Amino acid sequence: MNVENNVTIFEPHGFVRLVKWMGDELDIVNAARVSFANESFEFGDDDAGLIRYLLKNKHGSPFEQGFEAHWHVRMPIFVMREWVRHRIGHSVNEESGRYSVMRGDFFEPDHLRVQHGKPGAYTFEAIDDPDMYATFLDDLAEVNQGAWNFYQKWLDKGLAKEQARIALPLNLYTEVRWTSNARSLMNFLALRNNNHAMYEIRSYAEAMEGIFAKYMPTVHSAFVDNERVAP
């Protein structure tokens, strides 16, 4: 993972980037204070206390008016399957395999893991077996190349892109533009930067949380102090 200027790179093909944002912690405060026909013009200790009160007591709507963030993310399709489950307070548009030729970039895991337990209560442990890992990567590369050869073959035969793509695997990368506000982002982080989340999506969520903490330090601190429960 390489982090620089609101961009986190997941070698060799993935990234999460904060494209632009609007709003700050004062906007959240004033969204709450308007209930009493009041307003703050400079963020101070009383405002920080109000943010902590709002979050602790689950007064969530003011947090929808701070940190309106636009993200640009490149991730494997199987990660996107988890990501797109978050719908409230988010908007998403994805790279289309109907309109453009997919790029032959495939995700390779940095470790293998074994799954224990029952649905809803799984635990995962890393498999420390270099030979098994090397064999897995060789097999994965063979499958990836076969799927890519199929895709290219049928594109060359003139088949529509939307049909030629159907054999491409879940570890192909896709790209999205995704928006969130402070409230919806905290909900995403609570679930995805979490020990129970899938490792790969957690890596992205962890990077996004670092950016969120940079721009919304009081809100983020209150979020953590509140046991990472979103308002």
Phi, psi of 115 (to 5 degrees): -110, 130
Annotated catalytic residue, options 74, 165, 183, 192: 192
- Beta-carbon neighbour count of residue 179 at 10 Å? 17
Q: Is 87 a catalytic residue?
A: no
Distance, CA of 88 to chain centre = 14
Angle (nearest 5°) at CA 170 between 167 and 172: 85
Query: CA–CA separation, 62 vs 108, rounded Å?
Result: 41
The catalytic residues are 192
